[in-house]
């Protein structure tokens, strides 16, 4: 992936995440159909079910509740906070530290034992979501 494509996709993904988060906060009072295709079709939660609600709980300062709902919420909140700042800093300073960090992370994640650990963590989170019956 090229630097510009990575930076564009990261900013667009974070912007879409912020828009959806603020939309969810506004619609919180109303019952709405969730956007999770897996849960809507099968009735079972996916590994990321509850992430938006977990981020919302974080914004309310309820860290433990957020972790119990879905630990991915903290990861998503960190990504949505750090990535745009990092990308824009690189853009204005004409550097590519985010791109280089992405390349290093990609190389690390491609190691089979790391990939297996990460997959197991996602599966454990999925089991947690199913156990809670989100």
- Asked whether the predicted pLDDT for residue 51 surpasses 60, the reply is yes
On whether the CB atoms of residues 106 and 1 are closer than 8 A, the answer is no
Within 8 A by CB and 6+ apart from 1, the residues are: 9, 102
pLDDT the model gives residue 93: 97
What's the whole-model pTM score?
A: 0.82
Mean pLDDT, residues 20-25 taken together: 86
> Could you tell me the residue ranges of all domains in the chain?
3-132
pLDDT of residue 38: 81
8 A C-beta contact, residue 36 and residue 46: yes
What band does 23 get if pLDDT is binned at 50, 70 and 90? confident
Neighbours of 104 (CB within 10 A): 10
Region 97-105 average pLDDT: 97
95/47: higher pLDDT: 95
């Amino acid at each position: 992936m090229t630097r510009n494509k990575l930076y564009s996709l990261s900013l667009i993904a974070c912007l879409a995440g912020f828009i959806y988060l603020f939309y969810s906060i506004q619609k919180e009072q109303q019952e709405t159909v969730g956007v999770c295709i897996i849960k809507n079709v099968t009735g079972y939660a996916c590994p990321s079910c509850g992430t938006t609600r977990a981020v919302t709980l974080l914004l309310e300062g309820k860290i433990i509740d957020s972790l119990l709902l879905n630990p991915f919420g903290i990861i998503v909140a960190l990504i949505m906070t750090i990535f745009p700042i990092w990308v824009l800093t690189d853009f204005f300073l004409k550097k590519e530290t985010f791109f280089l960090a992405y390349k290093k992370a990609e190389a690390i994640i491609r190691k089979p034992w790391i990939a297996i650990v990460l997959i197991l963590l996602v599966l454990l989170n999925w089991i947690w979501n199913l156990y809670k019956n989100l």
